[in-house]
Chains A and B, each alone.
Chain A
Amino acid sequence: MNAPPGLLAASWTIARKDLAIELRTRSAFLSVVVFTLLALVTFFFAWDPTAVSSTDLAPGVLWVTFTFAGLLGLHRSFGAEMQDRAIDALLVSPVDREAIYIGKAFANVVFVSAVLAVAIPAITIFYNLPIARTVAALAPIAFLAAIGLVAVGTLFSAMAVNTRMAELLLPMLSLPFFVPIVLPSAQASAQLLAGRPLAEAMPWLKLLVAFDIVFAVACAVAYPHTLEE
């Protein structure tokens, strides 16, 4: 009857399925947002605000929080498929296996971006940052960071859910891979928030873009290799 869908169409269907589940339950989104807000607020009390200016503090806090919040969201990505072995139904469906990864990753980018859409205004308010400059500096970096984080995290989420101690394994596998995301993001946003010219942050941004490209491709190619032939 129907021909199997192409790679992009199949990916889109899978992404829509994940987003529809999330939109109807909102359980993961709300808990990750609350976690993010709590972390931003808690971090503020870990430093002496008279010794470290909040402009210096904010980028580090934001990117560390983002990493952990992202991990919480990513764990759910394949964790949800473990219920009633829904993943088996996905695997036998007539789509390329890359499509499962790409669809999941796309849904995760939307999820993580939505969390950041709350986190960036929140840190601007709580840390009294200049609004226009903060949003202009952080939004593009956030987008680049989200892609890298999701590319790696989605793959590791798929692997970790099949192991013992999945919740512990995902951060352990992912965090070393997040170093080339957190370090450039934090450094570039600190420079831009401090009013430095864009050219100074460029090496960091280039590194971030390179990471995104290399790992988006590598992880999409690697995902089918994690499955049984």
Chain B
Amino acid sequence: MTNPAGAPVNRRPLFDVLFGASVLAVIGAVVRVVYFTPFEATQGPAQKIYYLHVPAALSAYLALIVAALGSLAYLWLKDERADRMAESGGEVALLFTTVVLITGPLWGKPIWGAWWTWDARITLTLFLWFVTLSYLVLRGAIDEPGMRARYSAVLAVLAALLIPFIHLSVYLFRTLHPMPIVLKPDKPSLPPEMLTTFTISVFAFLFFCSMLIRARYRLSTARASGGADA
């Protein structure tokens, strides 16, 4: 596609009002977590990480689902918009998985007494992170757009098949070798204030996550249409 030098491409802004609103929502949620939510009786301040950790995990799942569906759609329709959707989902998923892997140990150290345990769910998250990272490295290692889209879509679909197998392996591994340190407290019912904070936080994160994916998608579109180095 030719693009006269300097002429504005038909490009939608990466950061718009909705994006700003999602950032404000996350800031608002964090303020509520820090100042307007009571401490949990036994865990004290450390428990507040929960309001970031779990919403970040849910956001990572959302982004991974976008990446997987985009990849599947690409293999089926060979439409480059699906490839851009997969790319955007993958990149945002890496961000949120990283947040999960950082906030987890921060909570684990004071509560479990260990930064890391080979608990099934933690190990699975770690491998999600690895697979997402290798997906993005693969994308970076191929110059030809068609090949990049085909290869990364195949990898993403296989990765989606892999997740249940890793889950089963690490689950069997842990059950056969129980670790006494794993005492993850159940939270069947949160007190009303905590539940409200948690719900607000989840929605703020999911909103922010969706807006990030949208901005990243628009960036890909701008790059593809010759607008290059945005």
Report A's interface with B, CB cutoff 8 A.
Answer: 152, 155, 159, 162-165, 169, 172-173, 175-177, 179-180, 183-184, 187, 203-204, 207, 210-211, 214-215, 218-219, 222, 225-229
26 contacts between A and B (CB under 8 A): A152-B158, A162-B142, A163-B138, A163-B141, A163-B142, A164-B141, A164-B142, A169-B137, A172-B137, A173-B134, A175-B130, A176-B127, A176-B130, A176-B131, A176-B134, A176-B162, A183-B169, A207-B169, A214-B161, A218-B158, A219-B158, A222-B154, A225-B75, A226-B150, A226-B154, A228-B146
Please, which residue of chain A has its CB at the minimum distance from the CB of B155? Answer: A173
Residues in chain B near residue A175, CB distance under 8 A: 130
Residues in chain B near residue A162, CB distance under 8 A: 142, 147, 151
Residues in chain A near residue B137, CB distance under 8 A: 169, 172
Report B's interface with A, CB cutoff 8 A.
Answer: 75, 78, 127, 130-131, 134, 137-138, 141-143, 146-147, 150-151, 153-155, 157-159, 161-162, 165-166, 168-170, 172-173, 176
Contact check, B138 vs A187: say whether CB atoms are below 8 A apart: no
Complex CA distance for A226 and B75, rounded to whole angstroms: 9
Complex CA distance for A179 and B54, rounded to whole angstroms: 26
Which A-B residue pairs are the 8 nearest by beta carbons? A180-B165, A163-B141, A183-B169, A180-B169, A222-B154, A172-B134, A164-B141, A176-B130
Residues in chain A near residue B130, CB distance under 8 A: 175-176
Contact check, B165 vs A211: say whether CB atoms are below 8 A apart: yes
Contact check, A179 vs B172: say whether CB atoms are below 8 A apart: no
Please, which residue of chain B has its CB at the minimum distance from the CB of A177? Answer: B162
Residues in chain B near residue A180, CB distance under 8 A: 162, 165-166, 168-169
Please, which residue of chain A has its CB at the minimum distance from the CB of B132? Answer: A176
Q: What is the total of A-B residue contacts with beta carbons within 8 Å?
A: 84
**Closest CB in chain B relative to A99 CB, distance in Å:** 18
Please, which residue of chain B has its CB at the minimum distance from the CB of A152? Answer: B158
**Closest CB in chain A relative to B142 CB, distance in Å:** 5
Please, which residue of chain B has its CB at the minimum distance from the CB of A175? Answer: B130
Taking a contact as CB atoms closer than 8 A, the residue among B75, B146, B157, B169 that contacts A184 in the complex is B169
**Closest CB in chain B relative to A101 CB, distance in Å:** 12
Taking a contact as CB atoms closer than 8 A, the residue among A164, A187, A207 that contacts B168 in the complex is A207
Please, which residue of chain B has its CB at the minimum distance from the CB of A217? Answer: B161
Contact check, A222 vs B157: say whether CB atoms are below 8 A apart: yes
**Closest CB in chain A relative to B143 CB, distance in Å:** 8
Contact check, A173 vs B161: say whether CB atoms are below 8 A apart: no
Residues in chain B near residue A164, CB distance under 8 A: 141-143
Complex CA distance for A228 and B148, rounded to whole angstroms: 11
User: Do A183 and B142 form a contact, CB below 8 Å, given A222-B158, A225-B150?
Assistant: no
**Closest CB in chain B relative to A167 CB, distance in Å:** 12
User: Do A218 and B169 form a contact, CB below 8 Å, given A169-B137, A172-B137?
Assistant: no
Residues in chain A near residue B165, CB distance under 8 A: 179-180, 207, 210-211, 214
Residues in chain B near residue A229, CB distance under 8 A: 78
